Amino acid sequence: MKKQLLSIIVAVLCTTCFTACESFLDQVPDDRITIDEVFQKKATSEQFLANVYNFVPDESNAIDGFPWVGTSDEADLTWSGGPNYPVNIGNLGPANQQFEKWGHYYRGIRSATYFMSRIDENEEIRTLDGQQRIDQYKAEARFLRAYYYFQLMQQYGPVILLGDEVISPDAPADELQLPRSPFDECVNYVVNELDQAAAVLPLVPQRNGQESAAEYGRATKGYALAVKARLLLYAASPQYNGNTDVAGFISAEGVPLISQTYDQAKWQRAADAAKAVIDLGIYSLYKDPSGDPIKSLDGVFLQPWNPEQIMVRKWNDVARWDVHCMPRQAGGWSGLGPTQETIDAYFMSDGLSISESPLYVENGFTNVDGLEIYNMYRNREPRFYHGVTYNNSVWQGGRMNAPAPITFYRSGPNGRDGHPTDFSKTGYLVRKNVGPGTNVGSGGNGQRQERPIILFRLGEVYLNYVEALNEYNPGHPDILTYLNLIRERAGIPKYGAGSDQIPVPASQAQMREKIRAERRIELAYEGNRWFDIRRWKIAPQVMGTLHGMDINKDGNEFYKRVPTMTPHLFRPSYYWWPISQYELDRNRNIVQNPGW
């Protein structure tokens, strides 16, 4: 029987189910290849898998692609016309979707499943590279499918588990009326998928049995184990572990979708998963050869393929992040400003918080190299200077040919009087992960700085490990060991009994607060804070009216805490994203998230 032509495949298959293959199949002449032939040829199968990878998020687009930075309490976005704005003012709902990812990730899931169901047919790969390559490709697709489920679970909570069944594009609507599974069941399914993938995936990207730079960005064992560690940490946290506040969140059959019983063993499971990543022995915290903590912290993000990076997205739009965070002086758009709450969270150089340290002063100025620096910004830890551009701090990048002070007061070069929209609303800009070589903004020459965007790194795994360990085995020596490794690289004193160390927190609760404080700063602006304040169930306390400097004033009047122009509202429904009305109409068995 003659095979269907590609035009039929594209019209029936791709448009309804496998969007990942559109960009590839649409390039192939419609009288030369069919979907069956795609899985008989090595090159076309590999291109299909590459398109499954396309669903991996490019989290460098924090402006209109990913809301996790600009809708948390750690930073504020400049533009009221962007999609973060309606989220922050409470104008989000099933019929008014922003950052809707439900359908997107399910297309990735179904595309990965289809690839897994067909790749064994490829005799050309088997002949040229052996069965091992077939197995690896299938494991990569399995990992990607599990990762897309994880992305859905982060944003929406319990999901619909499709399993290995390939759903026909012409399946009747009645066959698509599938319910959401309880969150713990989703966790166990995804963990099992990640374990299966990890058992096959290589430790490092390789070709023909050798590590290959050309393969960087492909799934590895570390990818799978790192995703597992974060997922299990979330599952052990108060949002999902005995959360009686959502007792009414049940399936159509009356089954609770969120566990109503606290289980301390979930913390041990999370700790073990994080330790498994550490025990791979192939990752280490990045440290600059000079020993300079700020250069080390910069290098984590600006030195491609360094040993701290676990999972990255090779192709990305990180130059857009650069330009959004750069001041107008550099050709940037002054788009992403840390809140005063985040500024206050940074430690002092003695490793203590601003409420504990005798070094903290919040009035007056000190002349530093001819610049008047507000004392609030003096004697701070290296991560502050690595992460924040503050008033009168020096910057060079973009179109700037020489270092110069950056100012945010009203009439200054980057102030609100100089542009109707492009000015920081907090009097600060994010400096972390900003490549000074990028010059594609206003007045730039189009130069980009190419580097991978980090999705998982070892610093986070250390913090995942110590948090989970403290919850089920407080006092375990590994808590101090790995927490101190983070602080040592950051250039601040460690916890301990030495004269140059900070006293060890005396209780489990005190250690919990110190770990959370460390996590807030170490992982700032990396997209973790939005999920952390929800899983800890502290969002109602930290969201709402946030603050910055007074950008409407000049001179010394600028240095005053005032509410930001846009509140960051938090409602009880904001623990999970709403499922769109479109999806609810398509599948009558979907139970909407609480409060929507």
Say which CATH number the domain at 87 has: 1.25.40.390
**Neighbour-count burial for 132-160, b at 16+ CB within 10 Å, e otherwise:** ebbebbbbbbbbbbbbbbbbbbbbbbbbb
Q: Does a structural domain hold residue 34? A: yes
Provide the pLDDT for residue 443: 66
- Classified as helix, coil or strand, 4 is coil
Provide the pLDDT for residue 32: 57
Number of H helices, E strands in the chain: 21, 14
Q: Does a structural domain hold residue 44? A: yes
Q: Does a structural domain hold residue 180? A: yes
* Domains identified in the chain, total number: 1
CA dist 281 and 72 (Å) reads 34
By residue range, what is the domain housing residue 38? 6-263+579-586
Provide block-wise average pLDDT over 10 residues at a time, the chain (596 residues): 31 37 42 81 96 94 88 92 89 90 96 97 96 96 98 98 85 81 98 98 86 89 98 98 97 94 98 98 98 98 97 93 95 96 98 98 96 98 98 96 97 95 96 93 77 97 98 98 98 96 97 98 97 98 97 97 93 96 93 96
Q: Does a structural domain hold residue 467? A: no
CA 74 to chain centre: 14
The model's pTM is 0.93
Q: Does a structural domain hold residue 427? A: no
- pLDDT digit string (tens) for 247-287? 999 998 899 999 999 999 999 999 999 999 999 999 999 99
Residue 556 has what DSSP assignment? Answer: G
Q: Does a structural domain hold residue 555? A: no
CA 335 to chain centre: 19
Provide the pLDDT for residue 10: 30
- pLDDT digit string (tens) for 410-429? 999 999 999 999 999 999 99
Task: Calculate the CA dihedral of residues 79, 569, 464, 249 and round it to 10 degrees.
Answer: -130
Q: Does a structural domain hold residue 277? A: no
Backbone angles phi, psi at 532, to 5 degrees: -65, -45
Q: Does a structural domain hold residue 54? A: yes
539, amino acid identity? A
